[in-house]
């Protein structure tokens, strides 16, 4: 009977350890494939859907007052959760480019790029925050296509 309890406690401990390790693998994954998907924004008369591809390209559709615009460009991760979009990104209301935020540098090739970051809700579900004034703009990842 004591062996049964010990075996049960060992199995429970092992299962708990495996669950924590599985959670960590998902929570710490900020790879391009983990962050790829479609992120949506709606507010201030604008609707936008940005699809991030694992090959570091994006496509965007932006609708304002019935006028639909499409674009494609590139994106790159910066550090663990940071992100930068090429100047092709269609600006959302209040969104700031690097030049807007830090001042234009005549020697820089990234003045018109847009920055932001990813955060994970409950450490597993990503949201995209874009640099903006007065607050960051939040784009929510679509769970299903």
* Whole-number pLDDT of residue 26: 59
CA dist., res. 50 & res. 132, Å (int): 16
Q: Which domain holds residue 47?
A: 31-141
| Inter-residue contact 87 to 80 (CB < 8 Å) | no
| Cβ neighbours of residue 2 closer than 8 Å, sequence gap 6 or more | none
In a domain, 20, yes or no: no
With pLDDT > 70 as the criterion, what percentage of the chain qualifies?
Answer: 86
* Whole-number pLDDT of residue 120: 81
Give the domain CATH number at 65: 2.40.128
In a domain, 24, yes or no: no
Give yes or no for residue 19 having a pLDDT over 70. Answer: no
Give yes or no for residue 85 having a pLDDT over 90. Answer: yes
Q: What angle do CA 118, 121, 126 make, to 5 degrees?
A: 40
* Confidence (pTM): 0.78
Looking at the structure of the chain, the number of domains it has is: 1
Q: What would the pLDDT profile of 24-50 be if each residue is shown by its tens digit?
A: 655 556 678 888 999 999 999 999 999
């Amino acid at each position: 009977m004591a062996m049964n309890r010990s075996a049960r406690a060992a199995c429970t401990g092992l299962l708990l350890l495996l669950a924590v390790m599985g959670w960590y693998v998902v929570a710490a994954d900020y790879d391009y494939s983990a962050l790829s998907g479609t992120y949506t924004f709606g507010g201030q008369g604008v609707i936008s859907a940005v699809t991030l591809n694992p090959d570091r390209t994006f496509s965007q559709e932006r609708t304002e007052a019935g006028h639909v615009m499409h674009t494609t460009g590139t994106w790159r991760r910066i550090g663990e959760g940071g992100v930068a979009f090429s100047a092709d990104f269609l600006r959302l209301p209040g969104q700031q480019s690097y030049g807007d935020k830090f001042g234009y540098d005549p020697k820089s090739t990234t003045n018109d790029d847009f920055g932001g970051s990813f955060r994970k809700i409950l450490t597993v579900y990503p949201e995209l925050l874009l640099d903006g004034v007065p607050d960051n703009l939040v784009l929510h990842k679509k769970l299903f296509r």
